[in-house]
C-alpha cells in the first residue's frame, strides 16, 4: 500500500483523501537539517509512537510504542551514532522532544527518510504527526487527529509514503 502526497495539501490512501500540511519551505530532493523542507521520495514508515495518557490504544497493524517523558529524537549533527534515532533525552544531545504539552506528537510515525546509515546533516525527525490548524511544519507531514486514526487502520509495516 502507498500513501501518496498528491498535491500541496492532500494525502491519498486507497479511497481516502486527507488534508495535510508539509514543511514551511516546501519540498526538497536535497534535504538539509533545519531547512524547513519536506524530503521528496518514497519511504517506508516506522512504528506508531503514541501518548498513552491521551490515546486509548489506537487500532493499527503497526508496532505501537508508548511515548515516555524521557524520549527524544536526535537531531544533533555532532552525535554520529545517535543522529536521526530514538534516544533517551540527555541535556548535552540536541533532540526533538516526543512528550510535548501540545498535541502534535500524541500520535506520530517516523518516516524512514535518512534512516538506516543516516548521513549527518541530511535531515532527521521527519514524522507523520498531528496538526490542529494546518500551519506549515519544520519538514514533517501533519494531518488532523481523526484522519490519523483512520489512516492507522489502513496501513501496515509494508506501507510506503510517496512524497512528490
Q: The dihedral of CA 63, 102, 82, 20: what is its sign?
A: positive
Say what the pLDDT of residue 2 is.
Answer: 84
Say what the pLDDT of residue 4 is.
Answer: 81
Q: Which among 18, 14, 22, 6 has a CA at the least distance from the CA of 136? A: 22
Domains and CATH numbers, the chain: 2-163 (2.40.440.10)
Say what the pLDDT of residue 104 is.
Answer: 97
At 56, is the pLDDT very low, low, confident or very high (cuts 50, 70, 90)? confident
CB count, 10 Å around CB of 49?
25
Q: For 121-155, what is each residue's pLDDT tens digit? A: 999 999 999 999 999 999 999 999 999 999 999 99
Say what the pLDDT of residue 152 is.
Answer: 97
pTM of the predicted structure, to 2 decimals: 0.95
Residues 6+ apart with CB under 8 A from 72: 86, 87, 88, 89, 93, 95, 96, 97, 98
Helices H, strands E: what count in the chain? 1, 15
Can you tell me the distance from the alpha carbon of 129 to that of 147, in angstroms, rounded to the nearest whole number?
Answer: 11
Percent of the chain with pLDDT over 70: 99
Amino acid at each position: 500500500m502507498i500513501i501518496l502526497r498528491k498535491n500541496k495539501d492532500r494525502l491519498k490512501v486507497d479511497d481516502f483523501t486527507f488534508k495535510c500540511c508539509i514543511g514551511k519551505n516546501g519540498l526538497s530532493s536535497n534535504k538539509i537539517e533545519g531547512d524547513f523542507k519536506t524530503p521528496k521520495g518514497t519511504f517506508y514508515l516506522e512504528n506508531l509512537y503514541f501518548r498513552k495518557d491521551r490515546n486509548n490504544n489506537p487500532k493499527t497493524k503497526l508496532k505501537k510504542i508508548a511515548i515516555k517523558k524521557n524520549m527524544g529524537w536526535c537531531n544533533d549533527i555532532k552525535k554520529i551514532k545517535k543522529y536521526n534515532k530514538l534516544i533517551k533525552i540527555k541535556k548535552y544531545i540536541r533532540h526533538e522532544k516526543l512528550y510535548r504539552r501540545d498535541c502534535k506528537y500524541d500520535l506520530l510515525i517516523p518516516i524512514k527518510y535518512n534512516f538506516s546509515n543516516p548521513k549527518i546533516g541530511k535531515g532527521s525527525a521527519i514524522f507523520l504527526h498531528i496538526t490542529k490548524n494546518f500551519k506549515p511544519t519544520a519538514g514533517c507531514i501533519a494531518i488532523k487527529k481523526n484522519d490519523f486514526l483512520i489512516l492507522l487502520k489502513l496501513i501496515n509495516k509494508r506501507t510506503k509514503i510517496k512524497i512528490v
